[in-house]
C-alpha cells in the first residue's frame, strides 16, 4: 500500500498548478491532504473519481478558505471517522481517518503558532491529541498519522537551527512533544530509512528558499511500531511543486 501525505496549501490552487495530472501519474493507493482551504461544493470532486479515486472524504473547517483535511482512496475503507470528537479541533477541520484492511490512516493538520494565542492553541491541541492517539491505539493499534505537524523534530530537520531556536515550529516545547509522541509508540518513517541532513518538506516563498533548499521538515508519516515489519520505504517527493510544501510517501508491504 502506497500512502502519500501532502499539504496542498489550497486544493483549488494546487489543481490549477497541475495537481490532478501529478496525482494520476503518481498513483498512490491513499493520499492524505491538509490545508485544503475549501468546502466540498467549491470545486469538482468528480475529477478525482475520473482518475481512480472513487472514495474521497472531505473535512473542511467551519471558517471558509481555512484549514481542512481530506483523504482520497482507491480502496474502499471499512470505516471513515470525521474529526476527533473534540470540538475546538473539529471546528477547524484538522483530523480525518479511514480504516482499510486492518490499517488506520489519519490525515492531520496540526496548528501553526503564528502568534501567542495560536501558540497556546497549538500546545493545547498537541496535549489533547496525544491523549486521543493513546486511547485510539488501544482500539486500533495499526495507526498511521500522516500530515503537517508544523514542527521540526531535530536540528537536522531545519536549515538554520540556531537562528530559528525561538521560532514556533522549532521551539523546545514543540520538539519535546514530537519526541515524546514518537516515544509513545510511533516510528518517524522517513528517519527510519534516511538519516541524512538537508531533507525538507516546506520552504518559504520568500528569498528563493526552495531553490536554495533552505527548508523545514514539517510533514511526517508517523507509523505505529506494530507496523514496523511492514515498512518498505519512506521518501520525500521534493520534485512536486503545487504548494509551499511537497508530498511525502510511505509504502507498506502487502
Which are the catalytic amino acids? 148
Q: Which residue has the cell 538519516?
A: 195
174: left (phi over 0), alpha (psi -120 to 50) or beta: alpha
50, 63, 143, 180, 214 from 34: Cα distances, Å: 21, 15, 18, 23, 22
Angle at 179 between CA 123 and CA 226, to 5 degrees: 115
Contact between 95 and 89 (Cβ < 8 Å): yes
Task: Specify which residues 34 forms β-bridges with.
Answer: 7, 69
Amino acid at each position: 500500500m502506497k500512502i502519500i501525505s501532502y499539504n496542498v496549501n489550497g486544493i483549488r490552487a494546487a489543481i490549477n498548478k497541475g495537481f490532478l495530472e501529478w496525482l494520476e501519474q503518481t498513483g498512490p493507493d491513499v493520499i492524505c491532504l491538509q490545508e485544503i482551504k475549501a468546502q466540498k461544493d467549491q470545486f469538482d470532486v468528480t475529477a478525482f473519481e475520473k482518475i481512480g479515486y472513487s472514495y474521497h472524504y472531505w473535512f473542511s473547517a467551519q471558517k471558509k478558505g481555512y484549514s481542512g483535511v481530506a483523504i482520497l482512496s482507491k480502496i474502499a475503507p471499512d470505516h471513515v471517522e470525521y474529526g476527533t470528537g473534540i470540538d475546538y479541533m473539529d471546528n477547524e477541520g484538522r483530523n480525518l481517518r479511514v480504516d482499510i484492511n486492518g490499517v488506520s490512516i489519519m490525515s492531520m493538520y496540526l496548528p501553526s503558532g503564528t502568534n501567542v494565542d495560536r501558540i497556546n492553541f497549538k500546545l493545547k491541541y498537541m496535549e489533547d491529541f496525544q491523549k486521543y492517539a493513546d486511547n485510539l491505539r488501544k482500539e486500533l493499534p495499526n495507526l498511521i498519522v500522516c500530515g503537517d505537524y508544523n514542527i521540526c523534530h531535530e536540528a537536522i530537520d531545519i536549515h538554520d537551527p540556531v537562528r530559528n531556536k525561538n521560532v514556533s515550529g522549532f521551539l523546545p516545547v514543540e520538539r519535546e512533544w514530537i519526541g515524546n509522541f514518537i516515544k509513545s509508540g510511533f516510528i518517524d518513517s522517513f528517519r527510519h530509512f534516511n538519516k541524512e541532513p538537508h531533507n525538507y518538506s516546506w520552504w518559504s516563498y520568500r528569498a528563493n528558499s526552495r531553490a536554495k533548499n533552505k527548508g523545514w521538515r514539517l510533514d511526517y508519516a508517523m507509523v505505529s511500531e506494530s507496523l514496523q515489519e511492514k515498512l518498505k520505504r519512506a521518501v520525500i517527493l521534493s520534485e512536486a511543486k503545487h504548494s509551499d510544501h511537497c508530498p511525502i510517501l510511505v509504502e507498506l508491504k502487502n
